[in-house]
Amino acid sequence: MRRHHDMGGQDAGPVDPAEHNHAPWEKRVDAIMRLVGDEKRQLLRVDELRRGIEELGPGVYDELNYYERWISSITNILIEKGVISIDELGRRMEDVKARWEASP
């Protein structure tokens, strides 16, 4: 049985192989993945990232772009492993929001 994210063999149109500029937040997501998966920390492996992306479900999976799927998966796995808590994440997000709104 094919899962929602498995598009292999289906007609999806041409792939644009051209390089594109990444937004700063996309670069940060990539850096976060490299940090949590490095030899020193070993908090997350690539196969776990993929599992987390595949578990997002059809609605969420379709609505998110590539790096949004990555950060969602990373977040869920770090919560699952007890590295961060939902409360801590919520507090940090509120801090970031407050700083963003206070900036000129």
Predicted TM-score of the model (pTM): 0.79
Cβ atoms of 5 and 54 within 8 Å: the answer is yes
Residue ranges of domains in the chain, CATH in brackets: 24-102 (1.10.472.20)
88: how many CB neighbours lie within 10 A of its CB? 11
Cβ atoms of 73 and 53 within 8 Å: the answer is yes
- Sequence letter at residue 89: L
Q: What is the mean pLDDT of each run of 10 residues along the chain (104 residues)?
A: 59 76 94 95 94 88 91 96 96 95 90
Three-state SS for 53? helix
Residue spans of alpha helices (H) in the chain: 24-36, 46-54, 58-63, 66-80, 86-102
- Sequence letter at residue 12: A
